[in-house]
Amino acid sequence: MSRQTSRMNWTFPGEGDDPFFEFFRQFTDAADASGWADADNNNIIAFGTTLFTWDATSSLLSWDADFYLSGFTTGFRIEVAGPASATILDGQLLGFVMPRLITGNTIVAPFVASRIAESAGVKIHDRIVIGARIGSSFYFRNGVTIGDGEFGEVWERPTTGVAVPGLTPSQKVTVNSALHLHTEHYFTPGAAMTILTLPDPSPETYKKFTVYRNGVRSSTSNPGVNGHTEVLTTPFQVTLNNPTQSADDVIIIDAETTVTVA
């Protein structure tokens, strides 16, 4: 009588089975297919400039165009069609069934499930996870995570933190808060000058002024000769605590402005 394993459901021959060879061949075929699938799965890469949008409130993951996956065991790729969307509850995943040894580019239909399991004759190694929802965030197979209301080209992430596609809104906020530009402004105002006006930096904004008076750094906390007050918004001014003494006085203002990643 034939027997089966308890996990992968591979059929293998029992003692005295006849025909023994047929049961044994079924076992080796299943083992071979599983080994091939595991090797293929280890190399699967997703790609495409598809923009994913995640709305945790409505549990809706949307993508605006086709995206692709391949294990590169053939010269062809798997395609998930877009634009499309899927409703994914907390703890659920988005996946697809991976066809093997394809002879042409092949469209697959994604499914939503609570776990990866064998069903309808499809083995677990043929079910591939695209991403999963945990709480209010969605985690993609390449390690990219997007939160509620965020979007991004998750398969095409930037590597340098510059203005390239792929940053989510919260990541752009982080990058923009760190990026800045320094511009030096020179003033030789003459005697008895106290107010120095800087140009409007729009569309950027001023983050900080560093003021040097005749080579000595001025401070907003210094009430003495080298002290000053500043206005980083319009009218964009530095007011010296004490007026300049002569036309030889030199004021240098290092103006730090924001730089925005679009």
* 156-184 tens-digit pLDDT: 865 443 334 456 666 677 777 777 788 88
CA 26 – CA 7 distance, rounded (Å): 16
* 137 shares a domain with 238: no
Residue 163 and residue 78 share a domain: yes
Domain end position, chosen among 168, 194, 209? 168
Q: Is the dihedral of CA 199, 200, 201, 206 positive or negative?
A: positive
pLDDT tens for each residue of the chain, 262 residues long: 455 554 666 667 777 777 777 777 777 777 777 777 778 888 999 999 899 999 999 999 999 999 999 999 888 999 999 999 999 999 999 999 999 989 999 999 999 999 988 877 788 888 999 999 999 999 999 888 888 988 888 888 654 433 344 566 666 777 777 777 888 898 876 777 889 899 999 988 898 899 988 888 888 887 676 788 899 999 999 988 888 887 778 889 999 998 776 5
Task: Say whether both 131 and 211 belong to one domain.
Answer: no
Structure-block tokens of residue 132:
């999963």
240 is a domain residue: yes
CATH value at residue 184: 2.60.40
Range of the domain at 29: 3-42
Query: Do 254 and 158 belong together in one domain?
Result: no
147 with 248, same domain: the answer is no
Q: Are residues 80 and 139 in the same domain?
A: yes
Looking at the fold, whether 201 and 251 belong to one and the same domain comes out as: yes
Give the end-to-end CA distance of the chain in Å, rounded to a whole number: 68
Task: State phi, psi for 13 to the nearest 5 degrees.
Answer: -75, 145
Contact 68, 83 (CB under 8 A): no
- The answer as to whether 158 is a domain residue is yes
Is 30 within a domain?
yes
Cα(138)–Cα(146) distance, rounded to whole angstroms? 6
Tell me, yes or no, whether 228 and 254 share the same domain.
Answer: yes
Q: How many domains does the chain have?
A: 3
Is 67 in the same domain as 125? Answer: yes
30/79 same-domain check: no
pLDDT for 38 equals 76
Residues 6+ apart with CB under 8 A from 247: 188, 190, 191
- Return the pLDDT at 165: 47
Q: Is 173 a domain residue? A: no
Look at residue 227 in the predicted model and tell me its pLDDT: 86
Q: How far apart are CA 80 and CA 129, in angstroms?
A: 13
How many other β-carbons are positioned within 10 Å of the β-carbon of residue 150? 20
User: Is residue 174 in a domain?
Assistant: no
Taking residue 160's Cβ as centre, other Cβ atoms within 10 Å add up to 6
Cβ atoms of 157 and 146 within 8 Å: the answer is no
- Domain assignment present for residue 194? The answer is yes
Alpha helices in the chain (DSSP H): 20-42, 169-178
Q: Is residue 11 part of a domain?
A: yes
Between CA 163 and CA 133 the distance in angstroms is 28
Question: Considering 113, 144, 168, which residue would you say is the last residue of a domain?
Answer: 168
Spatial separation of the C-alpha atoms in residues 229 and 223, rounded to whole Å: 10
Residue 163 shares a structural domain with residue 64: yes
3-state secondary structure of 38: helix
Backbone angles phi, psi at 104, to 5 degrees: -170, 165
Final residue in a domain of this structure, among 134, 168, 202: 168
Tokens at residue 78, please? 């798997």
Indicate whether 192 belongs to any domain.
Answer: yes
Do 50 and 160 lie in one domain? The reply is yes
